[in-house]
């Protein structure tokens, strides 16, 4: 399931762990009713995602190196 940040952020903020600010824990014996209702209303099907091989990913330094070169015209 995929969820846009705009949809997730209010819930993540509401149920953020009180122990560490950067930690979000959604592990309940019984989920809060409003959260369970929100999740139940989400579409069951997720869009198809196709991965790419690790060696096909450009890192920032490599991309900047090639983008900063003047083009030959």
Query: 43-59: per-residue pLDDT in tens?
Result: 887 778 888 888 888 78
Percent of the chain with pLDDT over 70: 86
3-state SS class at 54: helix
For residue 21, what pLDDT is reported?
Answer: 67
pTM, entire model: 0.53
How many Å separate Cα 5 from the centre of its chain? 7
Average pLDDT, stretch 10-38? 82
Q: % helix / strand / coil in the chain, to the nearest 5? A: 40, 5, 55
Average pLDDT, stretch 9-36? 82
């Amino acid at each position: 399931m995929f969820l846009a940040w705009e949809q997730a952020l209010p819930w993540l903020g509401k149920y953020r762990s009180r122990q560490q600010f950067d930690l979000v824990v959604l592990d309940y014996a019984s989920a809060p009713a409003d959260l369970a209702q929100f999740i139940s209303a989400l579409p069951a099907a997720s869009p198809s995602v196709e991965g790419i091989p690790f060696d096909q990913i450009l890192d920032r330094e490599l991309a900047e190196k090639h983008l900063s070169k003047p083009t030959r015209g």
